[in-house]
Amino acid sequence: MIDLYSVFTANGQKIHVMLEECGLAYRAHAVNLYGGAHKTAEFRMLNPFARVPVLVDHGAGVTVAETSAILEYLADKTGRFMPQGAGGRAEAQQWLSFVAANVGPLFRGLFKFGAAMPDNNPAAVKFFMTEAEAAFAVIDGHLEDRAWLAGGEYSVADIAFYPVAATSAKQLPQGVAPYTNLRRWMDVVAARPAVVRGMAVLAPA
């Protein structure tokens, strides 16, 4: 059995979608971030970085945090959603890293300085917004002549980016409206039954 400690945000949704795509049995536990549940000594035993999501695979004796590491772990475990050739695999890891290490933190900054502290630091908001829009423009351009982000197939790279486009991008003034190729790709990903199920996991009642 797999236990997933998570929240209803893009970072959580990446893993919810992957688990649903892989058809793995799991229990999703909502972590009360506002109550500081992730800062306890008990939680830091699972993830020293005090962040969600964290996955505990009891059968394998594995505990893993960081969305890109969790996605790669599940891809290795199931043999799914990671292109098999060296080139395709490297490409998937490149886009996975770009989303987790670059795009994700931009939206974290935008939330912290924008939604969480409105009008407190307009320069910071402008910086994070401009960078996030530039990242979306890069991904939109990349999708101009391809159906998927990497390796010519649906992969962990698409699974990592879809929740960011569907959820986090709402923080941008125009959302995903300016990005035609991205919206075409989103429509295809959104129609997958596992994506529909995964995006709804831990949704507030």
Ligand X SMILES: N[C@@H](CCC(=O)N[C@@H](CS)C(=O)NCC(=O)O)C(=O)O
Which residues of the chain form contacts with ligand X (CB under 6 A)? 7, 9, 11, 33, 38, 51-52, 66-67, 100, 104, 108
Residue number with CB closer to ligand X (115 or 147)? 115
Complex with ligand X: residue 50 or 188, whichever CB lies closer: 50
Least distance to ligand X, CB of residue 11, Å: 4
Nearer to ligand X, 67 or 93 (CB): 67
Q: Which of 3/181 has CB closer to ligand X?
A: 3
In the chain, at which residue ranges do the beta strands (DSSP E only) sit?
A: 2-6, 26-30, 54-57, 62-65
Shortest Å, Cβ 66 to ligand X: 5
Helices 86-97 and 67-78 sit at what angle, rounded to 10 degrees? 150
Minimum Å gap between C-beta 49 and ligand X is 7
Chain centre distance of CA 139: 15
Distance CA 132, CA 111 (A): 12
